[in-house]
Amino acid sequence: MDILEILGYFGALLIGVVLGLIGGGGSILTVPVLVYLMAINPVTATAYSLFVVGSSSLVGAIRNIPKKLIDFRTAIVFAIPAFIAVYLTRKFLVPAIPEEIFSIFGLMITKNIGIMLFFAIIMVIASISMISEKESTQNTEEDKVSYNYPLIIIEGLVVGLLTGIVGAGGGFLIIPALVILAKLPMKKAVATSLMIIAVKSLIGFIGDVENIEIDWKFLLIFTGISIGGIWLGVYLNNFINGKKLKKGFGWFVLLMGIYIIWSELF
C-alpha cells in the first residue's frame, strides 16, 4: 500500500467525518479522492461515489427515523423523479457520452476530462452555497408543510440528472428546495434530504452494475471507513461549531474545484 492509497483511505474517513459534522458536503470529496488518490477512472469513480454516498446517507437517515425528523411524504414526492433521472442517466446517458467530446484551442476534451470539469463546476457552485449561507428566515416546527408538486418534481429531475453525472449527493440543492418548496423546518429538511440522497444514489448505482466492473472488496472497505467517519463526526459535533466549519469547508471545496479545473486543462 503506497502513500497515495493510505491518503485515499484517510480521505474516506474524512468524507464520513464531514457528513457527520455538518450533515452534508462530504460527498463532494468522494470523486476527487477516488480519482486522484486511488487512481480510479472518473466514470467508475462517479459510480463508486453513488454507492458510498448512498450507503453513508442511509446510515444517517436511519439514525433520524426514531427522532421523527424525516418527512416521508416529501421524501417520496422528491425521490421518485430523482431516482428515475439518476438511474436513466447512469444506465443510458453516461455510457452514451463519446470518448472524445470536442477540441478547443488544440486541447481534446475527452469523456474523462469532461466529467471531471463538470464535477469541478458543481464543486464551485456548492462551495459558494456553503460560504455565502446566511441566517435566513427558516421555517419553524409549527409552520404547516405545503407542497409545490410541479416544482418539487422538476427539482427532483434536475438533482437526479446532476447526481447521475457527477456521483455527488446534491444536498446543497435538495435542502434549499425542501425548505422553500415544501416549507420544511431546517432540521427536517436535512434529515429528509439524507433519505432522498440514499434512495436515489443507491438506485442510480444499480444502473452501473451492468455497465461497469465493480471491485466489491475495495468498494465495501472504502464505504465502511466512510460510515465509521460519520459516527466520529457525530461525536465531534458536540465540540465543534458546525456553522463555522461549514464555511471553512466551503473554502476548501472551492480551492479543490479550482485545482481540478487547472489540473484537467493545464
Cell numbers that stand for 20 in this block:
457527520
- Residue 231 CB neighbours (<10 A): 14
Does residue 166 register a pLDDT over 80?
Answer: no
For the chain, what is the mean pLDDT? Answer: 83
In tens, the pLDDT along 101-126 reads: 888 877 888 998 998 898 889 888 88
Q: Answer yes or no: are the C-beta atoms of 159 and 173 closer than 8 Å.
A: yes
In tens, the pLDDT along 120-160 reads: 898 888 888 778 866 544 555 545 556 677 888 888 898 88
| Alpha carbon separation from 77 to 157, 169, 203 (Å, rounded) | 11, 17, 16
DSSP one-letter code for 70 = -
CA-wise closest residue to 246 among 159, 102, 151, 131: 131
Output the CA torsion sign for 244, 245, 246, 250.
positive
The mean pLDDT value for 58-68 works out to 86
Q: Find cell 448505482 and name the residue.
A: 205
Per-residue pLDDT band at 219 (split at 50, 70, 90) = very high
More confident residue, 239 or 121: 121
- Residue 198 CB neighbours (<10 A): 23
More confident residue, 130 or 221: 221
Per-residue pLDDT band at 38 (split at 50, 70, 90) = very high
Percent of the chain clearing pLDDT 90 (strictly above) = 20
Task: Transcribe 135-193 into DSSP letters.
Answer: ---PPPTTSPP---HHHHHHHHHHHHHHHHHH----HHHHHHHHHHHS---HHHHHHHH
Is the pTM above the cut of 0.85?
Answer: no
The total number of residues shown for the chain amounts to: 266
Strand partners, 104: 107
Q: What is the pLDDT of residue 177?
A: 77
CA-wise closest residue to 253 among 125, 116, 117: 125
Cell numbers that stand for 12 in this block:
474516506
The mean pLDDT value for 188-217 works out to 86
CA distance 245 to 265: 30
The mean pLDDT value for 66-75 works out to 87
Q: Mean pLDDT lowest for which of 4-13, 68-77, 187-196, 218-227?
A: 187-196
**Degrees to nearest 5, angle at CA 101 with 100 and 106:** 80
Q: What is the pLDDT of residue 144?
A: 57
| Alpha carbon separation from 109 to 54, 104, 115 (Å, rounded) | 29, 8, 10
Q: Mean pLDDT lowest for which of 129-143, 160-174, 197-211?
A: 129-143
Q: Mean pLDDT lowest for which of 126-140, 172-186, 225-239?
A: 126-140
CA distance 172 to 176: 7
Q: What is the pLDDT of residue 126?
A: 80
Q: What is the pLDDT of residue 123?
A: 84
